[in-house]
Amino acid sequence: MSIITIHEAKTHLSQLIQRALDGEEIIIAKRDQPLVRLEVIREKKPERRFGGLKDIVIRMSDSFDDPMDELGNWGSEQSSKVAEDSATYGKKK
């Protein structure tokens, strides 16, 4: 952290800006009283917008919902069993 007088800040403003861009904290003071801080303005992140990707997928293939051969029979047993009877829940068979 550097404390700089107003006069020094006016004289060396471009150098102080570069030091701030390099991550140094620069305080500008009037005599011994700190007045302001020279900071880098961080780019504001764009606001999230609901449905912002809706126009990305223009067309889906007709085979989108078809079974995938690479997976074989994986998951067929688990997916057919949606819920268990509460009496057998958690019990080993």
In a domain, 21, yes or no: yes
Is 93 or 17 the better-scoring residue by pLDDT? 17
Is-contact 78 71, C-beta < 8 A? no
Nearest-CA neighbor of 3 among 40, 42, 39, 30?
A: 30
93 pLDDT more than 60: no
In the chain, the number of structural domains is 1
Q: Which has the minimum average pLDDT: 8-17, 29-38, 40-49?
A: 40-49
In a domain, 88, yes or no: no
In a domain, 31, yes or no: yes
Q: What is the pLDDT of residues 40-89, one digit of tens each?
A: 998 888 888 787 777 776 777 888 888 777 776 666 665 555 566 666 66
What token pair was written down for 58?
A: 């223009």
What token pair was written down for 91?
A: 């019990």
> Could you tell me the residue range of the domain that residue 27 belongs to?
2-38
User: What is the C-alpha to C-alpha distance for residues 89 and 29, in angstroms, rounded to an integer?
Assistant: 71
In a domain, 15, yes or no: yes
pLDDT number for residue 59:
76
In a domain, 52, yes or no: no
In a domain, 8, yes or no: yes
26 pLDDT more than 70: yes
Count of H helices and E strands in the chain? Answer: 3, 3
Taking the model in full, what pTM does it have?
0.46
In a domain, 32, yes or no: yes
